[in-house]
Amino acid sequence: MRKHVIAGNWKMNKVLSEAEAFLENISGKVPENEKVEAIVCAAFPFLPALVEKAKGTKVKIAAQNMHFEESGAFTGEVSPVMLHDIGVTHVVLGHSERREYFAETDETVNKKVHAAMKHGLIPIVCVGETLKQREANETMSVVETQVKEALKGLSPDQIGKTIIAYEPIWAIGTGKTASSSDANEVCAHIRKVVGEIASKETADKIIIQYGGSVKPANIDELLSQPDIDGALVGGASLEAESFLQLVEAGA
């Protein structure tokens, strides 16, 4: 039985006092059972404070990006060594906003996934098609290529530890959610691809999330699908109360 992983991606939102207040609000309220894992993906400056605040709670703290090198002359970048050093456990890689605005490619995502694995971070690898690609019936091939390229060169064991987030770009921040059956179809395809490149056992184990306008009103329906193991949530993760509702739905 796979657990549900609910990750809130705050993107470029909140100031430190708001970030800390959020964690105080949810601490002690996140279900303690093994069925659900709660992750908060915050901006770099808040990470040390949030890791500290999350100690002794079930909440894990993630970064939203990182560089693939360990150190060096890369002004403005943050390395996997630095993230691991401060107690961050997960890192979002290849989010569509990074692919679109910051020149992230399948190749850099792959380098970052390897670097995350090397330094004990769990990557949350984002994949997903544009509206144009969906309308041209290219969803499955686009997503398949992104998954294969992101996971290239990883062992089955490493692939099994990765989280994949299927986020159709047209559903992000638009209020449009993929229907639960459409979302499940793509997640099932991702699982099949993982089975081909790793093993059936890995495919059965890997966590595949859906992301794109997930909110308390649609989470139950999405999580009821057999191949959707959680959610990567933007807007609805910004309020402690709605984030908690999403986590409770996964418990």
Closest residue to ligand 13P: CB criterion? 234
**Where on the chain is the footprint of ligand 13P (CB under 6 A)?**
9, 95, 167, 172-173, 211-214, 232-236
Angle between helices 16-26 and 240-250 (to 10 degrees): 40
Q: Which of 37, 97, 167, 189 is catalytic?
A: 167
3-class SS of residue 168: coil
Compute the least distance from the CB of residue 196 to ligand 13P, in Å: 26
Nearer to ligand 13P, 160 or 212 (CB): 212
Task: Mark 54-70 as b/e (b = at least 16 C-beta within 10 Å).
Answer: beeebbbbbbbbbbbee
- Confirm whether 167 is a catalytic residue: yes
* Residue 16, amino acid: L
Query: Cα separation of 43 and 10, whole Å?
Result: 8
Compute the least distance from the CB of residue 61 to ligand 13P, in Å: 16
The number of residues in the chain equals: 251
Nearer to ligand 13P, 80 or 211 (CB): 211
Query: Cα separation of 142 and 137, whole Å?
Result: 10
Compute the least distance from the CB of residue 42 to ligand 13P, in Å: 13
- Confirm whether 196 is a catalytic residue: no
**DSSP H helical ranges for the chain:** 16-26, 47-54, 80-85, 96-101, 106-118, 131-135, 139-151, 156-161, 180-197, 200-205, 216-223, 240-250
Compute the least distance from the CB of residue 66 to ligand 13P, in Å: 16
Angle between helices 47-54 and 16-26 (to 10 degrees): 20
**In the structure encoding, which two tokens stand for residue 127, read together?**
């994949």
Q: Which of 95, 97, 129, 189 is catalytic?
A: 95
- 187 with 166: CB under 8 angstroms? yes
Compute the least distance from the CB of residue 9 to ligand 13P, in Å: 4
Nearer to ligand 13P, 28 or 173 (CB): 173
Nearer to ligand 13P, 167 or 227 (CB): 167
Query: Cα separation of 62 and 208, whole Å?
Result: 17
Nearer to ligand 13P, 178 or 206 (CB): 178
Catalytic residue list: 95, 167
